[in-house]
Amino acid sequence: MMMTEGVSPVIEVVGLRKSYGELAAVDGLEFDVRRGEIVGLIGANGAGKTTTLQSLAGLLKPDEGLLKVCGRSVVNEAIEVKRLLAYIPDSNQPYDLLTVREHLTFVGLAYSVPRLEEKIDAVLEEVGLFEKRDQQASTLSRGMIQKLSLACALIWDPVAIVLDEPLTGLDPRGIRAMKDLIRMRAESGMAFLLSSHLLELVETICHRVLVVDRGKRIAFGSLAEIRASFDLPEKASMEDIYLAMTVSR
Ligand code: ATP
């Protein structure tokens, strides 16, 4: 287990609120993500996951609340935060006419990445796109586009990565590779916040899980902590826990 007690979190969210008209999509959410930690965000369709992630990424302006990345305010220090946190949505539209490698060159130059050429090769190997490096984005499959989105984040070494449904479109081998990659990057210190409906993913790779229901936090902790606080048996899986603590609507 990681020695993270007493270390200030990479991502810190306190009292986040965001409404769309009368609807409170996120209603007072609070959580943190530490260095080297993978936190999973789960909840029913419409529970407020994407709204939370987009608020953290600076794409949505929250109505209330404190959102910080490495102590910097997402709202008031937006540029600094853009150099710290990468957001990868569940479906990304690449530039059709650019090749895979050109995407990475473009992003790498924007972030002034040193020794960019070597870095591009290493990241392409890491995400499994090296063979496709000279292919135009318009010719990539959905899963390959997901990998390209991840590569465009890894190329500049963000401190934290926020992923909305990271396994969408990946084949079984791609799923395994994505899990391994996230784990390895976390071991080297990167912080991850990922939303998913795939409870097996959450159970196998996340250190802590945040369960949201109608914009509110209903649980936050390791699987063992959540089991204990809801008086669930030791063998209860993430799926058992989720079904026990949420009601169908
Ligand atoms: P899913 O699992 O289906 O992706 P989610 O947990 O990501 O859902 P959000 O997309 O954050 O949920 O949506 C939270 C609530 O806010 C939903 O009721 C949704 O209908 C509503 N909502 C989201 N975006 C808007 C918008 N632009 N205008 C109005 N309502 C919105």
- Which residue ranges make up each domain of the chain? 1-84+158-249, 95-157
Q: What ligand 1 atom has the least distance to the C-alpha of 53?
A: 11
Closest by Cα among 131, 133, 128 to 117: 133
Ligand 1 neighbour 166 (Cβ under 6 A): no
Give the model confidence (pLDDT) of 36-71 as tens digits.
999 999 999 999 999 999 999 999 999 999 999 999
CB atoms within 10 A of CB 117: 12
Closest by Cα among 41, 18, 86 to 193: 41
**Contact by Cβ (8 Å): 13, 29:** yes
Through-space distance between the first and last CA atoms of the chain, rounded to whole angstroms = 37
Query: How much of the chain exceeds pLDDT 90, in percent?
Result: 81
* 23-33 vs 64-69, strand pairing mode: unpaired
What φ, ψ does residue 178 adopt, rounded to 5°? -65, -45
Distance, CA 81 to ligand 1 centroid (Å)? 24
In which band, very low, low, confident or very high, does the pLDDT at 142 lie, cut at 50, 70 and 90?
confident
Locate tokens 């090296």: which residue? 130
> How much is the pLDDT for 248?
61
Q: How far apart are CA 144 and CA 170, in angstroms?
A: 8
Ligand 1 neighbour 249 (Cβ under 6 A): no
Burial string for 79-104 (b: 16+ CB within 10 Å, else e) reads eebbbbbbbbbbeeebeeebbbbbbb
Q: How far apart are CA 210 and CA 218, in angstroms?
A: 8
Ligand 1 neighbour 54 (Cβ under 6 A): no
pLDDT(2) > 80: no
Q: Give the CATH fold of the 1-84+158-249 domain.
A: Rossmann fold (3.40.50)
Ligand 1 neighbour 51 (Cβ under 6 A): yes
Ligand 1 neighbour 158 (Cβ under 6 A): no
In which band, very low, low, confident or very high, does the pLDDT at 6 lie, cut at 50, 70 and 90?
low
> How much is the pLDDT for 4?
47
Q: How far apart are CA 98 and CA 74, in angstroms?
A: 30
Residue of 50, 167, 246 best suited for mutating to test ligand 1, as the one with most atoms within 8 Å of CB:
50
Q: What is the pTM of this model?
A: 0.94
pLDDT(117) > 90: yes
- Joined tokens for residue 159: 């401190």
Distance, CA 164 to ligand 1 centroid (Å)? 13
Distance, CA 168 to ligand 1 centroid (Å)? 18
- The closest residue, in CA terms, to atom 31 on ligand 1 is 20
- The closest residue, in CA terms, to atom 1 on ligand 1 is 45
Secondary structure of residue 158 in the 3-state scheme? coil
Strands (E), the chain: 11-20, 23-33, 38-42, 64-69, 72-73, 85-88, 160-164, 191-195, 208-213, 216-221
Ligand 1 neighbour 49 (Cβ under 6 A): yes
pLDDT(243) > 60: yes
> How much is the pLDDT for 244?
86
Structure letter (DSSP) for residue 137: G
CA dihedral 191, 196, 202, 207 (to 10 degrees): 30
Residue of 16, 17, 18, 20 best suited for mutating to test ligand 1, as the one with most atoms within 8 Å of CB:
20
Give the model confidence (pLDDT) of 196-223 as tens digits.
999 999 999 999 999 999 999 999 999 9
Angle, in degrees to the nearest 10, between helices 116-127 and 100-110? 130
- Residue 27, strand partner residues: 17
